[in-house]
A and B are shown apart, each in its own frame.
Chain A
Amino acid sequence: MEKFYVENKNKCQIVKAKAETIDFLLSYSKSLKINDVRGIKFESNMN
């Protein structure tokens, strides 16, 4: 007989990004500097 019910019924899961990902983003933000030279914005990353 056909299988009508699957095991993974609900794919909507509560997921959160890892702490390491957030730490990376915060470090990236701190290191990113934008320099405006005559209206042109330059990005520099001070790692």
Chain B
Amino acid sequence: MELQIADSLLIQSYINGDERALATLINRHNQRLSSFIYSKVNDREITEDIFQDTFIKVIRTLKKGRYNEEGKFLPWVMRIAHNLIIDHFRKNRRMPFFESSSAFDIFSVIQDEKLNIEKQLIKNQIDEDLLLLIEKLPPDQRDVLVMRMFKDMSFKEISENTGVSINTALGRMRYALINLRKIIEENNIVLTN
């Protein structure tokens, strides 16, 4: 059975000038620390960088004699790595990066709200057709629909402008929509994008 020198003894040797003790410490905790970092950042290169920065901090702290013997070595090193991982994500939050995989494509949930050229042309055509259909409505219904849909007026404002009650304005809007649907159906018009 191989006898393992305790971390605390290796640290003491290192502080006393034995550089080989550091090599033993790094190799002993390499896999655990690297796997921990990798599980958080999921990138080999970043894992190497954070691993390196972690041990640079460890080396500087030990050489300056600031290491507190009360705690255990590995949890202390893990804590340093954890803080560096947080720093890494903070730095990258300004410029988030996402790599799509075959299992999940980010563009399936995030879309550009702007229509493409083809859809924009179709939309323009539909808008023009709709304006022609609206012209075919009786004037009182057409006025209410235009005020509501194109001028974004409330029914209270419409009633004040047309000199009718709110209920009458609501009724005219309802009949305007019913008549529009009728015209669309009778003429077999398709208004979809």
A residues with a Cβ closer than 8 A to B are 3, 6-8, 11-18, 21-22, 24-26, 28-30, 32, 34, 41, 43
Known: A6-B104, A12-B39, A17-B51. 10 other contacts (CB 8 A): A6-B101, A11-B42, A13-B38, A14-B35, A15-B44, A16-B34, A17-B26, A17-B30, A26-B19, A29-B59
Known contacts being A11-B39, A21-B52, is A29 close to B47, with CB within 8 Å?
A: no
Contact A22 B23 (CB under 8 A): yes
Whether the pair A22, B26 counts as a contact (CB closer than 8 A) is yes
Task: Output the least CB separation between A13 and chain B (Å).
Answer: 6
Is B56 part of the binding interface, using a Cβ–Cβ cutoff of 8 Å? Answer: yes
With known contacts A3-B103, A6-B103, A21-B51, A15–B34 Cβ distance under 8 A: yes
Q: Which of A16, A17, A25, A41 contacts B56 (CB 8 A)?
A: A25
- On chain A, the residues within 8 Å of B51 by CB distance are 17, 21
Given contacts A21-B48, A34-B63, A43-B60, is CB(A26)–CB(B35) below 8 Å?
no
